Amino acid sequence: MKAREEGKSSLEIDSDLKNKLDQVLLMYSGGLDTSVMLTWIQDQYGAQVSTFTVDVGQREAHLDKVKKKALELGAENAFVVDAKDKFADEYIKTSIKANGLYQDSYPLSTAIARPLMSEIAVDYANSEGIPAIAHGSTGKGNDQVRFEASIKALDDSMRVLAPIRKWDMSREKELAYAEENEIPIPVDSGSPYSIDENLWGRSVECGILEDPSEEPPEDVHELVNPVEETPEEPEYIELEFEEGVPIKLNGEEIGLVDLIKELTQVAGKHGIGLIDMVEDRIVGLKSREIYETPAALVLLKAHKELEKYCSTRHENSFKPLVDQKWAEMVYQGLAFDPLVQDLEAYIEKVNEKIHGKVRLKLFKGKATVVGRSSENGLYSHSLATYDEESTFDQSSSEGFIDIWSLPTKVGFNREK
Ligand code: ARG
């Protein structure tokens, strides 16, 4: 608590804090970077380090091993938190209701986990009396912005350390440092890719992917089957939504965490959920990322279809503007900005009436909506039908068209 009580600005970071921090909470994945960091912080800052690892649904997290490794590397405490339900309830649900896609493509899987992790880290740091949080993000990426903007909003007295921005270590130097300090080098540290994974999706960058003209090699994919290997028969699924949240799969009630796991498997098997994207990062550069998000793509598609079915034409033209702004703010690390809460108030309001069922056909890399039904749907068969029983009075259209087209007619003929 020492440094915080002195009331210094959180902008005064890193080298200024040498020997001034008694403790640091490190967001720890168990990988090479954060393991090197665990030792490096003890070394450089003379601080005790506790680690903090969040289970956000990454497969094979081996969190007990991560904890053991942290303690072996000298961590004072190694906290492990299962945040899968919180992630689903507080972040993924909103993202579904917001049809959350950045630049119309990326379901924000990495992006929405960062404010969640920051929130839990700040709580732990405060309850343990730890004055600083360290993260393993680079100085070029989005995640540094998301972590630090979130932490500052939640507790401006919290110090933030970003060792990768400071330590100026190449890959080789890092490996040498690990060897010198007897830090075990993870088996996957030879992989050319940088991977981030959680329940909502998997992000892969680096290696050959840094050439945007190259097709991603097969070894990039783990969740999505190559279309060449998908089943020859389509599979139909039915999703039921209540207030914009999926609650049933094929007629059976299911919690969101389990639903996402199930859809990841089923849609992935049919080759659905692969995104190859060049995106605009917060820091201004473009980067190429491969995403595997089978469950997100199916759920977002089904939700959007039902939302359009239950909303008026005017709502349908306005909501995408709100959704797009929401996705941009969240991508850009500003999840705790009041604007996001304002947008969410609107998003929640629209979703109050989004109940119903959506049927999808999963086949050869595509999820296609093939049916929808809802007690709140605005589709009226008697208005739409061309059969005898139609209640739509076609003779009214004549006068309607005269008035509807009036400004266009006048404008077009203004200066003939
Ligand atoms: N570009 C994505 C985002 O900013 C993912 C970032 C992490 N990607 C990774 N492969 N480590 O949300």
Q: How many CB atoms lie within 10 A of CB 243?
A: 13
**How far apart, in whole angstroms, are the C-alpha atoms of residue 90 and residue 111?**
14
Give the position, in ligand 1's atom list, of the atom nearest the Cα of 203: 10
Give the position, in ligand 1's atom list, of the atom nearest the Cα of 142: 4
Which helix (H) or strand (E) segment holds residue 406: the answer is: helix 406-412
The amino acid at 159: R
Mean pLDDT, the chain cut into blocks of 10 residues (416 residues total): 38 59 95 95 94 93 91 96 98 98 98 98 97 96 98 97 92 92 86 94 96 96 97 98 98 98 98 98 98 98 98 98 98 98 98 98 98 97 94 96 98 89
Told to judge if 171 belongs to the known catalytic residues of this protein, a careful annotator would answer: no
Give the position, in ligand 1's atom list, of the atom nearest the Cα of 143: 4
What SS3 class is residue 285? coil
Centre of ligand 1 to C-alpha 203, Å, is 6
What are the structural domain ranges in the chain? 23-190
Ligand 1: lining residues by beta carbon, under 6 Å: 110-111, 142, 194-196, 203-205, 289
Torsion of Cα atoms, 220 then 222 then 223 then 226, to 10°: 70
Please tell me the predicted confidence (pLDDT) of residue 10.
36
> What is each CA distance from 266 to 58, 148, 185, 359, 365, in whole angstroms?
17, 36, 34, 14, 11
Choose, from 14, 29, 33, 203, the residue flagged as catalytic: 33
Centre of ligand 1 to C-alpha 367, Å, is 24
Please tell me the predicted confidence (pLDDT) of residue 191.
87
Under DSSP, the state recorded for 106 is: B
Told to judge if 114 belongs to the known catalytic residues of this protein, a careful annotator would answer: yes
> What is each CA distance from 397 to 47, 357, 383, 388, 409, in whole angstroms?
77, 33, 13, 18, 17
**How far apart, in whole angstroms, are the C-alpha atoms of residue 277 and residue 331?**
15
Choose, from 4, 114, 159, 202, the residue flagged as catalytic: 114
Please tell me the predicted confidence (pLDDT) of residue 15.
59
Please tell me the predicted confidence (pLDDT) of residue 6.
44
Please tell me the predicted confidence (pLDDT) of residue 188.
78
Give the position, in ligand 1's atom list, of the atom nearest the Cα of 206: 10
Please tell me the predicted confidence (pLDDT) of residue 4.
37
Centre of ligand 1 to C-alpha 110, Å, is 6
Q: Ligand 1 pocket: which of 138, 205, 276 to mutate (most atoms <8 Å of CB)?
A: 205
Give the position, in ligand 1's atom list, of the atom nearest the Cα of 289: 1
DSSP labels, 307-327: HHHHS-HHHHHHHHHHHHHHH
Told to judge if 194 belongs to the known catalytic residues of this protein, a careful annotator would answer: yes
Centre of ligand 1 to C-alpha 196, Å, is 7
**How far apart, in whole angstroms, are the C-alpha atoms of residue 20 and residue 166?**
17
Choose, from 143, 159, 311, 372, the residue flagged as catalytic: 143
Centre of ligand 1 to C-alpha 142, Å, is 7
CATH code for the part of the protein at 23-190? 3.40.50.620
Choose, from 55, 194, 281, 337, the residue flagged as catalytic: 194
Told to judge if 323 belongs to the known catalytic residues of this protein, a careful annotator would answer: no
